[in-house]
């Protein structure tokens, strides 16, 4: 890590308490102090857990930079004690490469961010800046701005709005995580719309929906004649996003070879279309998303560690719908009115029984599942209220599984027979196609994810889909 000036003003006094650095290695402590002071921060440092605890109680710093390996105590225990005293404190944990599991445990215990040694100076400064922004007290009368596409003001979503507002004007790469259907693309669009690049293009690319052999061309483009079927020049998503934002959805689906090229692109801001003799520079901000645990993908060897740290600068986690409280009712009411207007129906609201059920359901498909249910109801029924009888059958099944006593009766043999009845009389090949198409729909058309769920190779599914398309097309 360099001690070069990071570009911030020197000696700035913000009037806030100093940052607290707890690091037991003298040489690293001096380097970190210098970088922070070059960036305009006031910092107090300690070398032991006891000294750090005393300084914390004396200063009440907004941000603590904490090495997890201390000579006199466990850094994780110290962090939990500090957060118990001052939950608003933002703790950035620092750990060695071999202790990533401990850093993940710290994140789960309430750490704001973690850094793995050795780390880039700019990443260090950005992490502190983002932690300070998150720790700044918000005026009660001025909640963080909410993008027009979002619905809901629950506390988890307020945190998302605040993080978007704090990072939007930056050029830092944003890494969005969350379950399928939580609105990761909406989050990426909001980051773009609130940034200085709002007038430029927003290009979204689903890395999981494109065959591996076509991904490089889709991202970086190709020249006419570069390969069989390249009948004309194609700019690619990175070139199309020049001056704007490139959103890479399901980024963990990228092939390892393409991950290497993406890392080179992030380092140089240059693209080289397939078949081109020389690269060219583009001005693109990267926002990416995944519904997987990216660190687990790194540990499994499916995602490059250096690419992870290049992309994972500012994380934003989209909360699942089941944790958003009354938001589910607000989303349902708003979208019900919108769908009713589109379909020419008379719906005005939800019955009390439906409201109670919606708040109790686990919503495994999150907001996407809720919107699917509402569209189904509006298309097949009419108002003025949505009643339990109008809801799809599968939702009643989820409701049964979500009963407060947690005991759902096992399916009766008659129920199993009824479920299998539509398959009777079909050939095995027809049943196979029905199962694969249903699995693809469940996984939003992602062949790699569907292949993992069915425990088959993605190439097997691509081959079957290609055969069915040719057969259907004559």
pLDDT, tens digit (0-9, with 9 covering 90-100), for 53-87: 999 999 999 999 999 888 888 888 888 888 878 88
Give 472: exposed, middle or buried? Use CB within 10 Å, 0-12, 13-18, 19+.
exposed
Same domain, 305 and 159: yes
* pLDDT reported for residue 150: 92
Residue-level pLDDT at 402: 55
Nearest-10 crossing angle of helices 327-343, 352-360: 120
Q: Report if residue 77 sits inside a domain.
A: yes
Q: Which long-range contacts (CB under 8 A, 24 or more apart) does 453-459 make?
A: 458/212
- As for how many domains the chain has, the answer is 4
- The answer to the question of residue 240 being in a domain is yes
Return all residues near 155 (Cβ < 8 A) that are at least 6 apart.
none
DSSP H or E run through 241: none
On whether residue 195 sits in a domain, the answer given is: yes
* Pair 52, 79 in one domain: yes
For residues 313 and 392, membership in a common domain is answered with no
β 90-95/174-177 pair status: unpaired
User: How far is CA 186 from its chain centroid?
Assistant: 11
Would you say residue 7 lies in a domain? no
Task: Give the C-alpha separation, 296 to 283, whole Å.
Answer: 31
Q: Are residues 172 and 294 in the same domain?
A: yes
Output the pLDDT for position 7.
35
Q: Is the same domain home to 215 and 243?
A: yes
Domain boundary among 135, 165, 188: 135
Residue 145 lies in a domain: no
- Residues sharing a CB contact under 8 Å with residue 38, sequence separation 6 or more, in sequence order: 3, 4, 5, 6, 8, 10
Q: Is residue 141 a part of any domain in this protein?
A: no
Query: Whole-prediction pTM value?
Result: 0.57
The total of other beta-carbon atoms located within 10 Å of residue 2's CB is: 11
Residue 464 lies in domain: 419-472
- The verdict on 289 and 343 lying in the same domain is no
Domain harbouring 426, CATH code: 1.10.10
Residue 160 shares a structural domain with residue 288: yes
> Is 4 within the bounds of a domain?
no
Same-domain check for residues 160 and 304: yes
Instruction: List the pLDDT tens digit at each of the 474 positions of the chain.
Output: 433 333 333 334 445 678 999 999 888 899 999 999 988 899 999 999 999 999 999 999 999 999 988 888 888 888 888 887 888 889 998 887 656 677 777 777 778 888 888 787 888 888 898 888 877 665 444 566 778 889 998 889 999 999 999 899 888 899 999 999 999 999 999 999 999 999 999 999 998 888 877 888 888 888 887 777 777 888 889 999 999 999 999 999 888 888 998 898 888 889 888 888 788 899 999 999 999 989 889 999 999 999 999 999 899 999 999 999 889 999 999 999 999 999 999 998 999 889 988 988 989 999 999 999 999 999 999 989 999 999 988 787 666 655 554 444 555 555 555 566 666 777 887 788 888 888 888 877 777 778 778 877 777 887 788 778 777 765
């Amino acid at each position: 890590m360099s001690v070069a000036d990071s570009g911030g003003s020197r000696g700035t006094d913000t009037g806030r308490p100093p940052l607290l650095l707890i690091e037991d290695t003298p040489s690293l402590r001096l380097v970190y102090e210098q970088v922070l002071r070059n960036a305009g921060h006031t910092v107090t440092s300690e070398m032991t857990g006891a000294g750090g605890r005393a300084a914390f109680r004396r200063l009440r710093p907004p941000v603590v930079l904490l090495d997890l390996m201390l000579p006199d105590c466990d850094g994780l225990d110290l962090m939990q004690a500090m957060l118990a005293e001052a939950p608003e404190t933002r703790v950035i944990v620092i750990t060695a490469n071999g202790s990533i599991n401990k850093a993940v445990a710290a994140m789960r215990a309430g750490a704001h961010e973690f850094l793995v040694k050795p780390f880039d100076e700019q990443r260090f400064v950005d992490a502190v800046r983002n932690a300070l922004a998150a720790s700044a007290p918000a005026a009660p009368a001025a909640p963080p701005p909410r993008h027009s596409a979002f619905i809901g003001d629950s506390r988890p979503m307020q945190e998302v709005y605040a993080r978007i507002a704090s990072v939007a004007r930056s050029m830092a790469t944003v890494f969005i995580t969350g379950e399928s259907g939580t609105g990761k693309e909406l989050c990426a669009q909001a980051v773009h719309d609130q940034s200085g690049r709002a007038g430029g293009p927003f290009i979204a690319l689903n890395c999981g929906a494109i065959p591996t052999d076509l991904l490089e061309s889709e991202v970086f483009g190709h020249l006419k004649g570069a390969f069989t079927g390249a009948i004309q020049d194609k700019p690619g998503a990175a070139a199309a996003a020049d001056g704007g934002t490139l959103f890479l959805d399901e980024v963990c689906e990228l092939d390892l070879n393409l991950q290497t090229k993406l890392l080179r692109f992030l380092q140089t801001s240059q693209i080289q279309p397939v078949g081109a003799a020389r690269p060219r520079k583009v001005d693109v901000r990267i926002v990416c998303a995944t519904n997987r645990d990216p660190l687990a993908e790194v540990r499994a060897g499916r995602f490059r560690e250096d690419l992870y740290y290049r992309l994972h600068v500012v994380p934003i986690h989209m909360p699942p719908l089941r944790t958003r409280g009354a938001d589910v009712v607000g989303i349902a009411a708003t979208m019900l009115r919108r769908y009713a207007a589109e379909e020419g129906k008379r719906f005005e609201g939800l019955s009390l029984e439906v409201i109670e059920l919606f708040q109790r359901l686990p919503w495994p498909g999150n907001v996407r599942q809720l919107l699917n249910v509402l569209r189904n109801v509006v298309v097949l029924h009419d108002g003025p209220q949505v009643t339990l009888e109008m809801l799809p059958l599968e939702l009643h099944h989820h409701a049964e599984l979500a009963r407060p006593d947690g005991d759902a009766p096992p399916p009766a043999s008659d129920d199993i027979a009824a479920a299998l009845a539509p398959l009777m009389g079909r050939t095995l090949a027809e049943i196979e196609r029905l199962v694969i198409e249903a699995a693809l729909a469940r996984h939003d058309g992602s062949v790699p994810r569907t292949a993992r769920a069915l425990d088959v190779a993605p190439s097997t599914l691509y081959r079957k889909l290609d055969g069915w398309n040719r057969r259907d097309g004559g």
